[in-house]
Amino acid sequence: MQDWIPDNADLKPVRLENDGGLLFVNLDQSATPLLEQAPQFLRDMYEVCPKLNSLVRVKRVERAIAANWKTLIDNNHECYHCDVNHKSLMELIDYDNKAVWSNSDITFTHAVESKQLKNTA
């Protein structure tokens, strides 16, 4: 078996942006950098997590889930089931209409607000 030779792989260069310890890959080298397209993106993240660039991972958990990844993401963002399955959570937070697209539909924000701090949760 011959060793793998990167020059023979026809690999294309990609843009890699690093901010706050987050890596952003763009397959289009000539595209406008993400942070120019969505300047509010990291400002919002630093607002809720001022020490973003100094965070370190303390644990990693991987799970194999027999489901379509889009279904999992949708489940996380829509919460249609929350009123029935997570009643005490829904007493605690105001979840309605808190998911919004921002920065010309480039970023998605889901920020909930406290509703009732004393509840069954």
In this structure, are 74 and 96 located in the same domain?
A: yes
In this structure, are 72 and 118 located in the same domain?
A: yes
In this structure, are 79 and 116 located in the same domain?
A: yes
- Name the nearest CA neighbour of 93 among 107, 72, 110, 105: 110
110 within domain boundaries: yes
Given this model, what pLDDT does residue 1 score? 58
Amino acid at 43: R
Given this model, what pLDDT does residue 104 score? 62
2 within domain boundaries: no
Q: Which residue has the higher pLDDT, 111 or 38?
A: 38
| Domain limits for position 37 | 15-58
Give dist(CA 15, CA 121) in Å, integer.
Answer: 45
Indicate the pTM of the whole model.
0.52
In this structure, are 52 and 80 located in the same domain?
A: no
Residue-wise pLDDT for 15-46, tens only, equals: 999 887 889 999 998 988 888 888 887 788 88
- Name the nearest CA neighbour of 115 among 83, 85, 72: 83
- What total number of domains does the chain contain? 2
1 within domain boundaries: no
In this structure, are 74 and 35 located in the same domain?
A: no
Given this model, what pLDDT does residue 28 score? 92
